[in-house]
Amino acid sequence: MIVPLIFFVVGMAALIKGSDYFIEGGGGLARRFGVFPSIIGFSVIAFGTSLPELVVNVNAVAIGNPGIALGNVLGSNIANVALVLALCAFLSPELFSLNRGHMKLISHQFILMILATIAFFILALRGFLDIYSGIILLLLFVVFIRHIWNSGTNSEISECPVPHGRRDYLYLAGGALGVAAGSYLVVNGAIQFAGIFGIPDFIVGFSMVAIGTSLPELATSLSAILKKHEGVSIGNILGSNIFNLLFIMGVATLIGLIPVQSPLEILIVLVFSIAVFPLFVLKRIGIKIWSCILFGGYLIYLIYLFS
């Protein structure tokens, strides 16, 4: 049991640090080449914080553990809204009091996240996700990214990573390497845990692996709040969920077939995603209360899964 635990902990540390370097390098390069700051939060940063899920899922499917891949994405999406976003909203209700232009962009991202979840649910009704499902998911991803890109504005430039010169390339390469190595350790540790305790791969992916791969989103969002860059926090979370469902699962299905034992878990993801909406309309106290409800619902669902 000690060896799988060491694998998992060391792997998570490499995932978090690697994604952090990837975000710094990617964000710096994006700024240098004139990418809109509001787009960097959704695209570069969201992709960087979703990179652990991507590499973990590719490895899991490649070695014949698709349950970990599906559980990881679904669990990560719930953790992003009911753990990461709920915690950020509780600590800083001002997240949902940004300027009109920024809130319009975030509202678009919220709607796209809901549409992505619905599309994923419909495809999963067949009981599996195959290469044709993957092509549809990737095509939707391109359409969604194009829509967000075209709606970008050049506002709040201070919210994004600053260029670091040639170091950006080193950050990007080193970050990607760290994530790749970390994901290998995480997947192997998770598989050994599942075998030791007799826990289904899906549950391990949904809980332990999903929470671990959501740590970059949590760290990035909390850092953005501390730096008074609230817009990056929400864009990062919503963008990561879209990346997870459309891009990451799209790529994973190109590698191998992913069985879906029950679409119920995807429906739960949709419910948690829709439950974010009250945060956009409530006042400060209401936001704090609703964020606690979201977090409590997440804990209850995890307890239900393990029971």
Radius of gyration of the chain (CA): 18
- Measured between alpha carbons, how far is 87 from 296 in angstroms, rounded to an integer? 11
* pLDDT by 10s per residue, the chain, length 307: 688 788 878 887 887 787 777 767 766 776 666 655 555 555 666 677 677 778 888 888 988 889 888 998 999 999 999 998 999 889 888 777 655 656 677 788 889 999 999 999 999 999 999 999 999 999 999 998 887 767 655 444 444 556 677 788 888 788 778 877 877 787 778 778 777 878 888 888 888 888 877 777 777 677 667 766 656 667 778 888 998 999 999 999 999 999 998 888 899 999 999 999 998 888 889 999 999 999 999 999 988 888 7
Tell me if the domain spanning 2-306 has CATH number 1.20.1420.30: yes
Q: Residue 267: which of 94, 120, 168 has the closest Cα?
A: 120
Phi, psi of 257 (to 5 degrees): -70, 140
Q: What is the largest CA-CA distance in the chain?
A: 52
With the CA atoms of 223, 227, 230 and 235 taken in that order, what torsion angle do they form, in degrees rounded to the nearest 10? -50
| Euclidean distance between the first and the last CA atom of the chain, given in angstroms as a whole number | 22
Strand partners of residue 258: 129
- Measured between alpha carbons, how far is 15 from 184 in angstroms, rounded to an integer? 10
